[in-house]
Structure formats: structure tokens, C-alpha cells
Amino acid sequence: MSTNRENVPSFEFQPDDFLLAKNRDLGVDQVYPARSYWSDVISAFIKNKGAVIALVAIILIITFAIIGPYMNGYTYNGQIIANQNLAPRIPVLETWGVFDGTEHMSTSTGMTVVNKYVNPNKTTGLESTYYWFGTDVLGRDLFTRTFMGTRISLYIALVAVIVDLCFGMSYGLISGYYGGAVDNVMQRFAEILNGIPTLVIVTLLMLVLKPGLGTITLALAITGWIGMNRIARAQVLKLKEQEFVLASKTLGAGDFYVIFKEILPNIFGQLIIMSMFSIPNAIFTEAFLAFIGLGVPAPLASLGSLISDAFKSFTTHPYMIISPVLVLGAIMLSFNMLADGLRDAFDPKMKEI
Amino acid sequence: MKRYVAKRLCISLATLLAILFILFLMLELMPGSPFNDEKLTQSQVALLNDKYGLDQPVYYRFIQYVKHMVTGDFGVSYTISKNTSITTLLASRLPVSIRIGGQAVLLGTVIGLFLGLLAALKHNTIFDTLTTVVSVLGVSLPSYVFALALSYSLGYRVHWFPLLYQQEAAMKSSVLPTISLAMFTVATVARFTRTEMLEVLGSDYMLLAESKGLPEWRLILVHGLKNALIPIITVLAPLVVSLMTGSLVVEKIFSIPGIGSLLVTAIQSNDYNVIVTLAFIYSAMYIGIMLFVDILYGIIDPRIRLAKEGNYEH
């Protein structure tokens, strides 16, 4: 076969044969811009529409909680008995037929529309009065009260994070790092405390102490840290056998130095995100306590106590309950979605926890 | 396995005893006494204290109390309905609460499983989005928001269901409370089923089962759902907690004569015995379910059992 050279067809190389077949301009050494950890995180977060909306909502709520109570002339505890049970009325929107101070009342003769601000037959003295969210049974401005209540919910959110990060985290770190008998005792204690429903602990505590913001804070401090303790402990167990810990120990570092300076910085980000998840829970606990009458004392308002008060007349004046319920729902929803988004952005692997 | 169960049982019992002790101590520290009536003279109060054994030392009363609890004698109510034994109070109320709670769990699990399955099978479609929205709302909003919304719209506006619980129309008036309590269950179960099912559907053994030519229903229900269900057991504990707290508020909104509303009344009228009993019952239910979940999980998934036993051996 190899001797039969005459039959080989003549063949000539063309310039095209030395080029790449299809992708003539395939960039072999194309350099892409480096993506840092943070730009990855931010782009992953921005892609998550729900989380971005939640973040905007939280910023809005915080802004309103700060300036809301000063936006109109009313105070949260100022009662104007003459102006009780007024429906919401907002300046510009009233010309469109919504929030014009009318409410539907069901009477024995059927539904009637009542407007306590403007009455064509007589002067009510309220023609130029505007209550954006209406007033309650004592004639207090619900707009101001709602956002005073929002402050309490946000304060509770802050408490939840601080309890998690100060107490729960340290407890879990120490327990996981020392291991052995220390770990056993500490985790048994946490287990027993965890075995008691939060509901029981909180209600009993509220009974022993005076109901109020201080007591609610204490109740959250007692019950709020157990989940974070577990997460922190699990993370330490993963890290404590690694070489950098051994290296630090070899160099003579003390236990607390290793725990808080060597191990903690590696897991702090994850722990902060996990602590976000305890916020909705804490806010819910406060609102729940307020609803069963163990919340902040009057005339202070929290969203829970506003809902509880408005519940008594919610079939006749449903507008009273709508604003606190909406704000509470928005807070819970936003924190949940923000926490979800942050977790996914920072560490997609954490989804399983 | 026996060793593991025995250990779990011991921890649960220790927890229960600790709870009894804490409950007892906290009530000792409580301000006021059940005999706050100003008309009572000093000697009358002393007589009453003697009658109810409140003048005995703390440890003695505690031991007595544990003894009574073990035998199911919860004592008498001081203020809510004087001298009625708490067992009688509970006898009429516990079934109502358990019934509504049970209905909520059942309804929530069925709907949650259905939604989660639908979302996983029709991944990235409108069903999936809908399920995500439902589960985010259900987890985020407290059950009383649903209760209020339902009782205003379906109860007050269109009169489909009674606003308040009626003993004679128990079925019809338990519909709205059941739905409000079930929302959290729906949300949690749907979320977990979706995640687990997606993972299972992408696994190799599902590919194998499919290539063996199994019918689709068998593929999804027997090979898929059965494996996806195991981790769902872990969400049982938060579900129980949410039902407990939810029941207090929801029972108040619909004025249901259950143990949740009894606890609220007892708190407001300082009825020691009723509070302690109910707190104990709530805790016992919670501990019982946690124990059940742990053991069940050990039976279903040997990896967990072995890992846990290894942990305790150290």
C-alpha cells in the first residue's frame, strides 16, 4: 500500500488550512476582569429581586419610624375625645374618592356611608382636619401611634440580634471549642431550656416581673440565644481541628484568643446572617404578648397592642386595625426576605441549614 | 437503638422535671396571692393558706406537686371557677383545642405537600412562583393576621361562617380558626417538600427508576416523595410551637373555649394552679413530640442514629 504512491491525489495546502475552522477570532488569552468576593456577593444580592425590595422596604420603615411621629402635629398619647373613631383622610387622595374620611357603617337599615369630617347639613368643625390613618376610640392619631409602635418592633429586632451575637454566639463558641465535659454540661442546659416552649417561659416571666419593654427584652434574652448557640457550636467544631488553630496554639495563644481572634473572624459573617433570621421571631413574640395583654403599658403603643385594641371594634371600624397589621406584616416579611437573600448571596451552600 | 432511645428518654424526663421545678419557682416569686380580696381578715387568709397547703415549706409543696402531677391530679382552680378541679376544666376544653390543632395540622400538611410537590414537578413555572409566594407569606405573617382577615371577610362581610365559636355548630365554626392556624403549616411543609423533592428528582436513583420504565405516579410517589418526606419530620417541632402560640391568639379572636383561651384568662386572673398546669401540659406535649421526632428519625434514617450514638459515646 505504501509503495503505491502514484495513486495519492495531489494535495496543496491553502492559507485557510492554518486558521481555526469556525471561530476565527477565538480569544485564547482573553483576560476577564477579576471578580472579588464582594462584587460576587453584591451581584448575587441584586439579582434577588425580593431581597432588594425587602431592603428598600426596611429602609422606608426605619425612616418612617424615625420621622413618622413628628410628621403631623399630633402626639402618640394626646387624646382629643371629640375626634374619636375618625376614618382615614389624606389631603390629595381625598379628591380621588379614597381616604376621604368616609366609612361604611352597617346599621339596622343596611349599609350607610358616614363621613364625620364633612357634612353638607351642618358644620362639624373638622373640615380642615386630616388624620392620615384615622383615630382610635380615644381620639388619638393612629399614624403617629403606628410609627411609635414600629419603633418598638425595630428595637425588639435590635435586641434579638444583639442577644444572638453577644450571648448565643459566645455560648456556642466556648461550648464547641472546649468540648468534652464543658460542652456536655452547656449543651444539656441549653437542651433543657429549649425543651420548655418559649411561650411558657415568656408568659411566666411577664407574670413575675412587671409587663413592659424591659421585661420583654429580658424574656427575649433568656429564650433567643439557643438557636444561635447551636449554629456557632457547629461552626467551631468544623474549624477547631484546622491547622491555623494549631499554629496559633503552638505560638502560645490562649484559649480565648484562639476563639475570638482566630476562629470567630472566619464565621462572623455567616453568624450575622443567621441572626437576621431570629428578628421576625422576636418581633412576632412581642406582638403576640401585646395581643394577649402582656405588652408595653398604656399609653405607649406597640404594633401588637394597637392590633389588640383595634380588634375590639374591628367589625365597626376596620381601618383601625389595617395600618398596624400592614406595617407589622411588612416588617416581618421584609426581614424574612432580606435574611433569605443575604444568606443566599453570601454563601449559597448555607441554603441547607 | 435501645441505648439511644433510653438516653433520649432520660433527657426528656430530666427536662420535664426541670420544667416543673422552674414553673414552681417562678410562681413562688410571683407578686400577689390568690386571696387578694380586701374583705378577708388576716386569720381568714391564714386559714385559706392552711386549707390549700400554701403555708408548707417550698420543697415539701414541690414534692407534693410532682406527686400529684404524676397521678394526673392537677389540683383545683383558685379564681377562674372556684374549687373546680382543673381536670374537669380541662376535660371540656382540651378536646376542642386538640381538635382544631389536629385539623390545622392535617389540612396544612395535605395542602403543603400538594403545593410543594406541584412546585417541584413544575419547577420554574407559575405554580412554583405561587408556592413560593404562599410559603413566604405563611411563614412571615402571624396567624392572627390570617384570623382577623378571615373573620372580617368570610365571617363578618359575607356571613359564610360564624364570627365566634358556637358549641352547637362546632364543625362550621372551626373552619376559620383551622385555616388561620394551618397557614404556617402549609407554608413550612410546602417549602420543605419543594426543596427536598427538587433534590430527589435530580438524583441518580430517580434516573435509574425512570430508565427502568416505571409508571410516572409510582416514580413520583414511591421513589420520589417517600425519600423527600424524611427531612420534613424535622420541621414538626417548629410546627408544634407555632400551633401552641397560634392557638392562644386564634382562640381569643374566635372566642373558642379551648386551653389557649383558658391560659390567657388564667394569666389575667393570677390563677396559679391553672397556669402551672397549662404550662406543664404545653411543655409535656412539646417534649413528647420532640422525643417522638428524634426516635422516629433514628428509626427511619440509620445514619442519624449512628452519628448521634457516636456523639454521646465521646
Q: Nearest chain A residue to B163 by CA: give it.
A: A315
Check if the interface score ipTM surpasses 0.90: no
* Option in A195, A196, A333 nearest B136 (CB): A333
DSSP labels for B13-55?
HHHHHHHHHHHHHHHHT-SS-S---TT--HHHHHHHHHHTTTT
User: Cα(B284)–Cα(B13) distance, rounded to whole angstroms?
Assistant: 10
* Option in A50, A192, A288 nearest B245 (CB): A288
Q: Nearest chain B residue to A352 by CA: give it.
A: B195
User: Cα(A149)–Cα(A287) distance, rounded to whole angstroms?
Assistant: 10
Q: Which residues of A touch B (CB under 8 A)?
A: 50, 180, 188, 191-192, 195-200, 203-205, 207-208, 280, 284, 287-288, 291-294, 307, 311, 314-315, 318, 321, 325, 328-329, 332-333, 336-337
Radius of gyration of chain B (CA): 24
pLDDT number for residue A98: 67
Contact A287 B136 (CB under 8 A): no
For B167-184, what is each residue's pLDDT tens digit?
777 677 778 888 888 888
Q: Which residues of B touch A337 (CB under 8 A)?
A: 136, 140
* Option in B141, B241, B275 nearest A332 (CB): B141
pLDDT number for residue A212: 77
Contact A333 B163 (CB under 8 A): no
Extents of the domains making up chain A: 37-75+147-352
Dihedral class, residue B49 (left if φ above 0, else alpha if ψ from -120 to 50, else beta): alpha
User: Cα(A87)–Cα(B255) distance, rounded to whole angstroms?
Assistant: 27
Q: Which residues of A touch B140 (CB under 8 A)?
A: 280, 329, 332-333, 336-337
Mutate one of B245, B273, B313 to test the A interface: name it (highest A CB count within 10 A): B245
Extents of the domains making up chain B: 92-268
Tell me if A180 sits within 8 A of A94, measured CB to CB.
Answer: no
Taking only residues 103 to 162 of chain B, the set having a beta carbon closer than 8 angstroms to any beta carbon of chain A reads 136-137, 139-142, 144-145, 148, 152, 156
Contact A307 B148 (CB under 8 A): yes
For chain A, the 3-state helix, strand and coil shares in percent, each to the nearest 5, are 65, 5, 35
Contact A197 B22 (CB under 8 A): no
Contact A195 B141 (CB under 8 A): no
CATH number of A37-75+147-352: 1.10.3720.10
All 3 cell numbers of residue A80?
A: 382629643
Contact B279 A315 (CB under 8 A): no
For A44-97, what is each residue's pLDDT tens digit?
788 878 888 888 988 988 888 888 777 777 777 767 766 666 677 776 666 666
pLDDT number for residue A110: 65
Contact A204 B23 (CB under 8 A): yes
CA angle A220, A52, A147 (to 5 degrees): 50
Distance from the B88 Cα atom to the nearest Cα atom in chain A, whole angstroms: 22
Distance from the A200 Cα atom to the nearest Cα atom in chain B, whole angstroms: 6
CA nearest to A335, candidates A285, A287, A291, A283: A283
> What is the residue whose three cell numbers read 416514580?
B219
Distance from the B28 Cα atom to the nearest Cα atom in chain A, whole angstroms: 9
Size of interface A-B (CB pairs under 8 A): 112
For B179-221, what is each residue's pLDDT tens digit?
888 888 888 888 888 888 888 887 888 888 888 888 878 877 7
pLDDT number for residue A351: 47
- CA B249 to chain CA centroid, Å, is 13
Q: Which residues of A touch B307 (CB under 8 A)?
A: none
Q: Nearest chain B residue to A277 by CA: give it.
A: B140
For chain A, residues with pLDDT lower than 50 are 1, 350-353
pLDDT number for residue A353: 37
Tell me if B124 sits within 8 A of B132, measured CB to CB.
Answer: no
Distance from the B175 Cα atom to the nearest Cα atom in chain A, whole angstroms: 19
The phi and psi torsions of A112 (rounded to 5 degrees) equal -130, 155
User: Does residue B56 belong to the interface with chain A, where contact is any CB pair within 8 Å?
Assistant: no
Q: Note every long-range contact of B117-122, with CB atoms under 8 Å and residues 24 or more positions apart, other chains counting.
A: B117/B193, B117/B194, B117/B197, B117/B220, B117/B225, B119/B190, B119/B193, B119/B194, B120/B193, B120/B194, B120/B197, B120/B198, B120/B201, B121/B197, B121/B201, B121/B220
Contact B140 A329 (CB under 8 A): yes
Distance from the A313 Cα atom to the nearest Cα atom in chain B, whole angstroms: 11
Mutate one of A61, A206, A207, A338 to test the B interface: name it (highest B CB count within 10 A): A207
pLDDT number for residue A23: 59
Q: Which residues of B touch A332 (CB under 8 A)?
A: 140-142
Q: Where are the beta strands (DSSP E) in chain B?
A: none
Tell me if A66 sits within 8 A of A145, measured CB to CB.
Answer: no
Class of domain B92-268: mainly alpha
User: Does residue B275 belong to the interface with chain A, where contact is any CB pair within 8 Å?
Assistant: yes
User: Cα(A151)–Cα(A171) distance, rounded to whole angstroms?
Assistant: 29
pTM (predicted TM-score) = 0.76
Tell me the three state secondary structure of residue A296: coil
For chain B, residues with pLDDT lower than 50 are 309-314
Contact B137 A333 (CB under 8 A): yes
* Option in A197, A203, A337 nearest B286 (CB): A197
> What is the residue whose three cell numbers read 411577664?
A206
**Sequence letter at residue A20:** L
Q: Which residues of A touch B23 (CB under 8 A)?
A: 200, 204
Q: Nearest chain B residue to A321 by CA: give it.
A: B148
User: Cα(B128)–Cα(B138) distance, rounded to whole angstroms?
Assistant: 15
All 3 cell numbers of residue B109?
A: 400538611
CB within 8 Å of A275: residues ≥ 6 apart:
A160, A161, A164, A165, A168, A228
Contact A314 B148 (CB under 8 A): yes
CA A55 vs CA A37, A58, A303, A337: distances in Å: 21, 5, 20, 9
User: Cα(B144)–Cα(B251) distance, rounded to whole angstroms?
Assistant: 10
